[in-house]
Every structure is written in structure tokens, then in C-alpha cells.
A and B are shown apart, each in its own frame.
Chain A
Amino acid sequence: DIVLTQAPLSVSVTPGESASISCRSSKSLLSSKGITSLYWYLQRPGKSPQLLIYQMSNLASGVPDRFSSSGSETDFTLKISKVETEDVGVYYCGHRLEYPWTFGGGTKLELK
């Protein structure tokens, strides 16, 4: 199974500042079709997860452009610029390259 390792476990950010979350894969997530199968999700407190980023760098519908993602075949970074109160929650990376789909352990974002 592909293991996704997120860092840090938690991050505390001053509103208006930026935050970065790392996700490292145990295997290349580049598919034979040239698509990098890496996704980012946010789960706000008490809510269902929502998709933020698909295929490594594409913003999901309705997601503000303060969110961005980049990476290589195995190392990925989610960046949140100008953090707002609504960004609080747990961020997960996940892949869809092969079965079983797996998720990272999550990174909790809090406000200072």
C-alpha cells in the first residue's frame, strides 16, 4: 500500500499569515497518463471533508485561490496564503493512483 506521510502534525498560524503542509508519498504518484494522483481535503470541525485540490495542483470548484499546491512525484506541499478563520480544521492528502486509496494522517491547522 502507498503510505502518505504528512508534516507537521499541527500548525498554529496568525490570521493573515501563510501556512504550508507537506505530504510525502512512499511511491511515485505519477500515473501512466501523466496525471499526478494527489488530492488535498479539508475537514472543518464537526463537518464532512471537502475537496480542495485535485491532481496535485488543480483548485476544486468554489475553493478560494488562497489555496495552492505543488510538488514532484513523491513530495507535495499545500500552501495557504492569508489564513482566515474558516481555514481552521484538519487537512488530509490522499491518492487515487491504485487500490487501496490511502490518506495521510492529517495536519491540524489552528489560529494563534
Chain B
Amino acid sequence: EVQLVESGGGLVQPGRSMKLSCAASGFTFSSFPMAWVRQAPTKGLEWVATISTSGGSTYYRDSVKGRFTISRDNAKSTLYLQMNSLRSEDTATYYCTRDAGSGWGQGVMVTVSS
């Protein structure tokens, strides 16, 4: 069974940084591209970033380019999202997803507020 468990969320001040982690199990992590998708309170789904199986290719939505970094450690079956220069509009539940959404974590809430 695919399991994805996010951690690292919470309350952070604007301009500060936060790093999310996603521990994967139940499948061969290194064989799948991984992604982060977020959902602002009462809003729809918004893709944030994707990383290839090796980590050699990464893709970001324009609003987070230069501020967020997606990475992975295949030896630890863990996905990361380093978020810098956080803004109030980054407030959302962040989901770790496998490939095109064939597995989702439970989500972790990130609140950016002073």
C-alpha cells in the first residue's frame, strides 16, 4: 500500500523559511516522479513543483520559482520542499503526491502570518 507522510508544517512569519518532508513507503520510491500540490483554505488544488526520479530535473509554478526548492533522497525514500521568503499567499495545506496523483499524503498545513 502506498503511504506518504508529510511533516514540517506550522506557523511561520512572512519572509521566513520552512522545510517540508514526505516519507514514502509501500512502493519503490526511486521509480516515480514526485510532486507537491497545495490547497489554500476553502480553495481548489494547485500544483507547486515536480521532481524527476533521479532528482536531476525539477519544475516549479511561476509564483514559487526562486523561492521553493524540491528535492529527494532516494536512499531514504523521502521528498522535500524547502520554502524560502514565504508569503501570506503560500498559506495552504501541502500534499506530497506520487507521479500524477496515484498516491497522496494526508497533507500538512503551512500558515504564513505575523
Which of B45, B61, B104 is within 8 Å of A94, CB to CB? Answer: B45
Q: How far is the CB of A108 from chain B (nearest CB, A)?
A: 11
Q: Is the CB of B44 within 8 A of A106?
A: yes
Say yes or no for A103: interface residue by CB 8 A criterion.
Answer: yes
Bound Cα distance A48, B107 (Å): 7
Say yes or no for A45: interface residue by CB 8 A criterion.
Answer: no
Q: Is the CB of B47 within 8 A of A100?
A: yes
8 additional contacts, CB 8 Å, given A50-B104, A51-B101, A94-B47?
A: A41-B45, A48-B104, A49-B101, A51-B100, A92-B44, A94-B45, A96-B100, A100-B47
Q: Inside 8 A of A103's CB, which chain B residues have their CB?
A: 44-47
User: A residues bordering B, Cβ < 8 Å?
Assistant: 39, 41, 43, 48-51, 54, 60-61, 90, 92, 94, 96, 99-106
Q: Inside 8 A of A54's CB, which chain B residues have their CB?
A: 100, 102
The answer to whether residues A39 and B101 also contact, given A92-B44, A101-B50 and a CB cut-off of 8 A, is yes
Q: Is the CB of B95 within 8 A of A39?
A: no
The answer to whether residues A48 and B106 also contact, given A99-B50, A100-B61 and a CB cut-off of 8 A, is yes
Q: How far is the CB of A35 from chain B (nearest CB, A)?
A: 11
Q: Inside 8 A of B32's CB, which chain A residues have their CB?
A: none
0/1 string, B87-110, CB within 8 A of A gives 1? 000000001000011111111000
Q: Inside 8 A of A102's CB, which chain B residues have their CB?
A: 47
Which of B59, B101, B102 is within 8 Å of A99, CB to CB? Answer: B59
Bound Cα distance A90, B43 (Å): 11
* B:20-74 near A, CB below 8 Å: 35, 37, 44-47, 50, 59, 61-62
Q: Inside 8 A of B102's CB, which chain A residues have their CB?
A: 51, 54, 60-61
Q: How far is the CB of A66 from chain B (nearest CB, A)?
A: 20
Q: Inside 8 A of A50's CB, which chain B residues have their CB?
A: 104
14 A-B pairs with CB atoms under 8 Å apart are A48-B95, A48-B104, A50-B104, A54-B100, A54-B102, A90-B44, A92-B45, A94-B45, A94-B47, A100-B59, A100-B61, A103-B44, A106-B44, A106-B45
